Structure 1
Amino acid sequence: MFHKLVSFLVLFVAVLPGIAQPRQTIDFNGDWFFTLDDDLNARHADFSHANWKKIVLPHDWSIGFDFGEEYPAGNAGGALPGGAGWYRKTFQLSEKDKGSYYALHFGGVHRYAEVWVNGKYLGKNINGYLSFEHDLTPYLRYGNEQNVVAVRVDNSLQPNSRWYTGSGIYRDVRLEKRSPLHLLREETVITTPEVSAEKSVLNVRSVFNKYTNDKVGQLTLKLQDKYKKTIAEKTVRLSENHFEEKLEVGGITLWEPGNPALYDLSITVLDNSNKVVDELKYPVGFRYFDFDEQKGFFLNGKPFKLLGVCLHHDLGALGAAFNKSAAKRQLLVMKDMGVNAIRTAHNPPAEEFLDLCDELGFLVQNEAYDMWAKRKNKFDYHIDFKEHYINDLVRFVKRDRNHPSVFMWSIGNEIREQFDSTGIAFTRNMTEVVKKLDPTRPVTAALTETNYDKNFIAQAQVLDVLGFNYKIFDYDKLPTEFKGVPLIASETVSALQTRGVYDSVHDTIQLWPASSKDKFVTNGNPDFTVSAYDNVAAYWGTSHERAWIEVKKRDFLGGTFVWTGFDYLGEPVPYPYPARSSYYGIVDLAGLPKDVYYMYQSEWTDTDVLHLLPHWNWKEGEQVEVWCYYNNADEVELFLNGRSLGRQSKTDERLHAVWTVPFEAGELKAVKIKDGAAVQEVVKKTAGKPVDIVVNVEHDRYAVDGLTDMHYITVSLVDEHGTVVPDNDIELSFVPQDNIAIVGTDNGYQADLHSLSSAKRNTYKGLAVGIAQKLNQEKEAKLIIKSNTMEKEIRIK
């Protein structure tokens, strides 16, 4: 059905000043001014913004506030404010720039963005998750005159989401200078009707912005490998305002998550005098796949289980403000766990996020909507849906169809039209739109109704793959209810955990809250925590282990997407305020793995895993359940202060070894046994009082451009022997000294109400994370981390 498919990624390279290029992308993120004073006069070119705050984009104004119960978004929306705000930026163009075409591109603005240039109104963007652009050319000034861009953002209608959205121009903005005659990026489509390691065919088509008969001379297509060796090239004469050409390619490496091989495609347009008038460059990934209703998913001709997670768009302490190195950190943490697929829950991600998925090797189920015409919140997208959903869907597909990582389109998540006949028409309309724009990828939706006669989205009979959220005990009836359609577990688990918390009740799965009748849990913990043993879930979900066991034993399920890879702001089931962020993540909001991370790593990778939990600070004689996640071994032997407590192993129905141990202070050690021999060991020690802080700075692995990179500073509170202290937390201050700014701090605790932008943070279970940015990348940076009794100087090269 979807055999021999490939898609590719648009890449625009910023051009050095003074070098003539047919298309120049100008970083437009710096030197903006911002205010929350909603004065409509700010649209005028002569308005003074002298008293506004100077900022750099991307920018999320909500994340800078302390959390508060009074905000109308509620704790489901992150307990942070919305409101309306203004942005302004001035810039100049030289006289020699006259005659060029200028487009201002916004990667994403939440919400209701209205744009003016030099006082001229350019329009309003409704969808807060999609990119949009405006043609500035007719309104620009040249020479000594200033140009002024003004943007009003209105996120005051609350609640408008089931999670934290952020507020403002929260993705990149760029100004693009083009020749008066240029290719339309949104109409450029690259596919491969034939793909194999031996021979592939690359198909390229595009459209010019206006009639080209007397302007364009020829077109050159060139494909190069990562060593800049040309592997295919073609030059043709042009005579119309559009083209479609093919390149035959031999001897290529296929793109796949384990080896995301990319090639560079350039499309160069010359006029009749052989002058370059436009050029687009695309990294290209060749791959093909198929779904089978009995055998699951196949990639490049081989069975391939989708080991996926769902990710929301916020980046923890950065809020919704997109940062590529922060997103790269998230993805690499997931990759180390064994994740090979991402579901963008439940809206289009930043364009640069998909760039990373292309480069790092993740298959992406790209999702458009969390609701259609029937609302989930009073002011959510349903109020604009009927007027805008087709146009937004078109923009969505055109924006993302050239990414090799994108392998499925999802038109909705748990849509309420699933339960009435309006779902049939909407599903058919949207599927037709997507198929017309991109017939090479399957269309799906994430469903909850497992009876065909009650599921009106499935009854539309146009979706290529059906995704089902939760309902693990209905899995075996799905092939009978929904005959002849491939199936995936589009959302699973919804287990709840707080990193480092271990409750004594852990022998059965507890549902918090117990049913849909209860808004919040009634028997939870007074400190708003949930045990990190994998034994608590929302009433519609189950444990991580149980969900994965049920998926992996069924070949007909193409794979799973766990809810969620990371904790995210908002939707803090199972608690009311002061809980303000989710408990669902395998990794906490600060980016620190919870224990269950290692269960997945032991199941989804060949990395040698031996992870022991919990910590070893308890009351003398207290009965403690000890778990061990492991792989690549037959069993694990546990020792307490040198005495063997026996060997245990995991089973098909329990993915960890387990012992019940009366606590005594000292050393707990797990030894992994394979073929009768010890091959790996791990130790947990009883910690004393904190006497020092240990600091680990991560940057190089997450670096992207040397300009916007984040430095992640993980601080561990340790005793005199270097053991992390899990039960004696203290406040830390991250104090900049030279060439560095503290962007945010976090500790992963879901009910910490201090602003995530604060430079002060309590450790939680012995750990905290600071996020910093160097001001000058060429110079060394220095900061101090201190408490009332300890201090440590950190130098960052």
Structure 2
Amino acid sequence: MRYLFGLMLLLGVQVSLAQSAFDRDWRFRLGDDSLASRPDYKDAGWRKLDLPHDWSIAGDFSPTHPATTQGGALPAGIGWYRKTFRLPATDKDVRVEFDGIYRDSEVWINGHYLGKRPNGYVSFAYDITPYTKAGVNVLAVKVDNSRQPNSRWYSGSGIYRHVRLVMKPKVAFAHQSIFIRGNAAGEMYITGALHNHTAKAARITVLHKLYDASGRLVQQAAVTPLQLNAGDTGVTFAADMSVDRLHLWSIEDPYRYRVVSEIRQGSAVLDSVVTFTGIRSFYFDENRGFFLNNVSTKIKGVCLHHDLGALGAAVNIRAIERQLEILKAMGCNAIRTAHNPPAPELLELCDRMGFLVMVEAFDMWRKKKNKFDYYADFDAWHRQDLIDMVKRDRNHPSVFMWSIGNEIREQFDSSGIRLTRELVSIVKAVDSTRPVICALSEWNPEKNFIWKSGALDLVALNYHHEVYEDFHKHYPGQVFLGSEQMSAFATRGHYDMPADSSYFWPAKSPQKIVEKGNPDYTVSAYDQVSAYWGSTHEATWKLIRKHAFLSGLFVWSGFDFLGEPIPYPWPARSSYYGIVDLAGFPKDAYYMYQSEWTSKPMLHLFPHWNWQPGQVVDVWAYYNQADEVELFLNGRSLGVQRKGADDLHVAWKVPFAPGALKAVSKRNGKVVLEKTIYTAGTPARIILTPDRAKLKARVRDLSFVTATVVDAAGHLVPDADNRLQFTIEGPGSIAGTDNGYQADTVSLKNTARKCWKGMALAIVQTGDRKGVIRLKATSPGLPAASLTLTSGE
């Protein structure tokens, strides 16, 4: 059976890549004050800042914080924001839009209470037209993140996403109402809604114009003139057009069109909405897997939490883009927004960069996972939150499915049947073009009441790779999707031997548990350790790649994230699951995926080559586009290894001798690539390497600068733990520092950072001025290192 979804053209919401003017010049105070909602409140002594803002990330790590280490061991509390702004005399409607506030936000305009939104991840808007005036206006926002613990991961605190003040004509498109569907033949169907907030009837025409990527007008369609009565709201319209010679949106070629939708009255344009579009089709086949634009495509995805490492939860477009660039280079083609609606900037970037996205709504329904989580608000808010999520994101070409929940506890009793049917019906009423799934941790269909509802489009399983080969026996005629897999642990640069034995930690049974870890809170970076509910990276991927009916997977997780520091207690404060560490430095498993998920020749050899004389070292290599790898130690061949049909790496056991360890991959006897690792001496200097040297002013642009401690010959010193002090001159600032070590309890805003395994990170952020930025790194006993960056247009 073929499960057809998404044979359509989709409208991608245009997201500004810079701060809006309304993000700037807010006043903030940590702590509660019941009078702060009043417009005449004196806030001159409050801190002045720009949004987005996360106050928790600036705090110190502590095991006593109510969020617990599961929530990142950082402070939360209550905070107030105030924005004073001027409006001209106008007859337009005024709306304030929040992309996300964590959490329990309440908003006032000029002392008038607008409302409350408990959900910390959903975007929402308020019409403030009746309460604004010409001249000075005051917006006040209370953010209450004091009820802790309320999350299983780091949430951040505050207005951590963008805010906009939008002025619209009285006759306009209803907010987020435009929806475009179509087919591969280029037939487009456009629906939406209009309102007339004037006291007079208006006769209007709706015109849609489609432009290609070069700006050429491709097609246009007009709606028969409509009569809007005074005070009309929700007046619907429909239009269609036909597009010749479609250029499809795909992972490899994320081509987008531009749509201009206008409300016209005669020759006058009353309202206009500019968006981007991407045209693509996809379907699932129960036996052959996933097809994008009729091309068989394995879903090679990762799960991502929303924090941005040292930047916390505060949205930064460059930080998100960097994460996606790192994942793209690994061969990743899909993102699961675990376990909440994402920032709109993530979807805009995925549209542009060519990623598929599963957008997820909830981590719990009525049954809680934390004492103060969303369960208490679910009954009152789930309908509105779900509608707002789907309406906001349904027009992104990258979004190819909706998830209504993750490991929901209603799986295990009959309440899951009714709730699943209700949630799916809410989604389908707003968008029937995509499959709806729920990430199921109970694999047995007889025991899973969410699956028994019959409402889900696909079987999306979390873990339980042991049943994948027998999937059709358990779910005859159904489509498989791996919604969350692996939960493998690693600390970058640390290696426990022997590496050819894998184990669970924590374990389900005493026979498999590792009761004591390492005294430095590390986990081996060989692919040998996972939680009992998961597997090593290789174990599950071998199954997924083997069978066409296994349409793909989402690895837990793409990056380490703040919170959930399993398997260690404090002082561990961030996860060990990531393929990439919290600083953005790849772990060795990254290269296993790169060898499997990309076609560009690659060769990765590890571990480092600083050991005790005579110690037997497990040496691994990941490679592709080659038949074999030969290993040399100081010029002497240690033999050739070839991957068998079920192998993902090759390995040698090598008695250590200092010098050069070299791997050479060959195809048909010809050298493809060489990789050499050298025994390093003592630390001699610091090398600063930016990911970008030319930055833009006024947009919170970032350069992620890697600091590497090397010996006199320039080789990374793998055990270097030098403390680096970063200083900066010019129109920039140090937005954070990190080293990727999960148990480093120094504040991520500290400008001093010890290296971990010879590496550290400094994040440089531009300010409002253009000019030259100079970053300097110093460490006792080492010469200072400096780097010049430019901040311009």
TM-score by length of 2: 0.96
2:116 paired residue number: 124
1:302-701 equivalences in 2 (<5 Å)? 302-515=295-508, 522-699=515-692
Shift of 1:219: 2.0
1:22 paired residue number: none
2:293 paired residue number: 300
- How much identity, in percent, do the aligned residues show? 48
Tell me, what secondary structure is at the counterpart of 2:280?
Answer: coil
2:262 paired residue number: 268
2:207 paired residue number: 220
2:13 paired residue number: 10
Query: What is the rounded CA distance, in whole Å, between the counterparts of 2:225 and 2:637 in structure 1?
Result: 79
385-394 or 403-412: which moved more?
385-394
Query: What is the rounded CA distance, in whole Å, between the counterparts of 1:55 and 1:516 in structure 2?
Result: 51
Shift of 1:541: 1.0
1:208 paired residue number: 194
Shift of 1:226: 1.2
Closer/same/farther in 2, CA of residues 14 and 72 from structure 1, 3 Å limit: closer
Question: Contact 2:696–2:766 (CA<8 Å) still a contact in 1?
Answer: no
Identify the match of residue 47 of structure 1 among 35, 41, 45.
41
User: Partner letter of residue 257 of structure 1?
Assistant: I
Query: What is the rounded CA distance, in whole Å, between the counterparts of 2:640 and 2:518 in structure 1?
Result: 33
Closer/same/farther in 2, CA of residues 705 and 264 from structure 1, 3 Å limit: farther
Query: What is the rounded CA distance, in whole Å, between the counterparts of 1:166 and 1:518 in structure 2?
Result: 38
2:155 paired residue number: 165
Shift of 1:476: 2.4
2:707 paired residue number: 715
User: Partner letter of residue 162 of structure 2?
Assistant: D
**Residues matched between the structures, number:** 778
Question: Contact 2:71–2:149 (CA<8 Å) still a contact in 1?
Answer: yes
User: Partner letter of residue 494 of structure 1?
Assistant: S
1:280-295 equivalences in 2 (<5 Å)? 280-295=273-288
Question: Contact 2:364–2:409 (CA<8 Å) still a contact in 1?
Answer: yes
Question: Contact 1:521–1:575 (CA<8 Å) still a contact in 2?
Answer: no
The answer to whether structure 1 residue 156 and structure 2 residue 142 are counterparts is: no
| Residue deviations 1:189-236 (CA, integer Å, cap 9, x gap) | 1111x21xxx30122111113378832432221111111011111234
Tell me, what secondary structure is at the counterpart of 1:219?
Answer: strand
1:19 paired residue number: none
Shift of 1:706: 6.3
Closer/same/farther in 2, CA of residues 785 and 509 from structure 1, 3 Å limit: same
| Residue deviations 1:391-419 (CA, integer Å, cap 9, x gap) | 21111111110111110001111111111
Tell me, what secondary structure is at the counterpart of 2:553?
Answer: strand
User: Partner letter of residue 761 of structure 1?
Assistant: R
Question: Contact 1:520–1:576 (CA<8 Å) still a contact in 2?
Answer: no
Query: What is the rounded CA distance, in whole Å, between the counterparts of 2:685 and 2:17 in structure 1?
Result: 45
Shift of 1:13: 6.2
635-644 or 690-699: which moved more?
690-699
| Residue deviations 1:306-356 (CA, integer Å, cap 9, x gap) | 000000011000111111110000011000000111111111000111111
Query: What is the rounded CA distance, in whole Å, between the counterparts of 1:477 and 1:5 in structure 2?
Result: 33
1:758 paired residue number: 750
Query: What is the rounded CA distance, in whole Å, between the counterparts of 1:492 and 1:510 in structure 2?
Result: 16
| Residue deviations 1:706-741 (CA, integer Å, cap 9, x gap) | 612111111110011000011121111110111110
Identify the match of residue 186 of structure 1 among 158, 176, 188.
176
Tell me, what secondary structure is at the counterpart of 1:378?
Answer: coil
Query: What is the rounded CA distance, in whole Å, between the counterparts of 1:368 and 1:576 in structure 2?
Result: 29
Query: What is the rounded CA distance, in whole Å, between the counterparts of 2:333 and 2:15 in structure 1?
Result: 26
User: Partner letter of residue 174 of structure 1?
Assistant: R
Shift of 1:653: 2.6
Question: Contact 2:17–2:345 (CA<8 Å) still a contact in 1?
Answer: no
Shift of 1:676: 1.0
516-525 or 582-591: which moved more?
516-525
Query: What is the rounded CA distance, in whole Å, between the counterparts of 1:7 and 1:367 in structure 2?
Result: 19
Query: What is the rounded CA distance, in whole Å, between the counterparts of 2:490 and 2:20 in structure 1?
Result: 44
Closer/same/farther in 2, CA of residues 10 and 473 from structure 1, 3 Å limit: same
| Residue deviations 1:502-531 (CA, integer Å, cap 9, x gap) | 112322111111227899952211110001
Question: Contact 2:731–2:770 (CA<8 Å) still a contact in 1?
Answer: no
Query: What is the rounded CA distance, in whole Å, between the counterparts of 2:769 and 2:602 in structure 1?
Result: 36
Closer/same/farther in 2, CA of residues 102 and 265 from structure 1, 3 Å limit: same
Question: Contact 2:688–2:786 (CA<8 Å) still a contact in 1?
Answer: no
Question: Contact 2:724–2:779 (CA<8 Å) still a contact in 1?
Answer: yes
User: Partner letter of residue 46 of structure 1?
Assistant: D
| Residue deviations 1:663-686 (CA, integer Å, cap 9, x gap) | 011100000111012221010000
User: Partner letter of residue 457 of structure 1?
Assistant: I
The answer to whether structure 1 residue 232 and structure 2 residue 222 are counterparts is: no
Tell me, what secondary structure is at the counterpart of 1:246?
Answer: strand
Shift of 1:659: 0.2
Mark the runs of 5 or more structure 1 residues left unpaired by the alignment: 16-24
User: Partner letter of residue 361 of structure 2?
Assistant: A
Identify the match of residue 86 of structure 1 among 64, 80, 83.
80
1:20 paired residue number: none
User: Partner letter of residue 140 of structure 1?
Assistant: T
Question: Contact 1:494–1:537 (CA<8 Å) still a contact in 2?
Answer: yes
Shift of 1:3: 5.5
The answer to whether structure 1 residue 784 and structure 2 residue 749 are counterparts is: no
Query: What is the rounded CA distance, in whole Å, between the counterparts of 1:430 and 1:107 in structure 2?
Result: 22
User: Partner letter of residue 238 of structure 2?
Assistant: E
Closer/same/farther in 2, CA of residues 26 and 576 from structure 1, 3 Å limit: closer
Tell me, what secondary structure is at the counterpart of 1:5?
Answer: strand
Shift of 1:477: 2.7
Shift of 1:26: 5.2
Question: Contact 2:607–2:619 (CA<8 Å) still a contact in 1?
Answer: yes
The answer to whether structure 1 residue 736 and structure 2 residue 739 are counterparts is: no
Closer/same/farther in 2, CA of residues 756 and 216 from structure 1, 3 Å limit: farther
| Residue deviations 1:472-496 (CA, integer Å, cap 9, x gap) | 1111232122222211111110000
| Residue deviations 1:107-141 (CA, integer Å, cap 9, x gap) | 10000000011111110011100011111111112
Tell me, what secondary structure is at the counterpart of 1:654?
Answer: coil
- Alpha-carbon RMSD across the aligned residues, in angstroms, is 1.8
Mark the runs of 5 or more structure 2 residues left unpaired by the alignment: 228-234
| Residue deviations 1:32-84 (CA, integer Å, cap 9, x gap) | 11111211111110111111111111111000011001001110110011101
Query: What is the rounded CA distance, in whole Å, between the counterparts of 2:475 and 2:223 in structure 1?
Result: 49
Question: Contact 1:521–1:574 (CA<8 Å) still a contact in 2?
Answer: no
Query: What is the rounded CA distance, in whole Å, between the counterparts of 1:704 and 1:294 in structure 2?
Result: 49
471-480 or 525-534: which moved more?
471-480
Tell me, what secondary structure is at the counterpart of 1:185?
Answer: coil
Tell me, what secondary structure is at the counterpart of 1:186?
Answer: coil
1:727 paired residue number: 719
Query: What is the rounded CA distance, in whole Å, between the counterparts of 2:147 and 2:536 in structure 1?
Result: 36
Query: What is the rounded CA distance, in whole Å, between the counterparts of 1:704 and 1:261 in structure 2?
Result: 25
175-184 or 768-777: which moved more?
768-777
Question: Contact 2:69–2:565 (CA<8 Å) still a contact in 1?
Answer: yes
User: Partner letter of residue 755 of structure 2?
Assistant: T
Closer/same/farther in 2, CA of residues 3 and 388 from structure 1, 3 Å limit: closer
Tell me, what secondary structure is at the counterpart of 2:24?
Answer: coil
Closer/same/farther in 2, CA of residues 520 and 238 from structure 1, 3 Å limit: farther
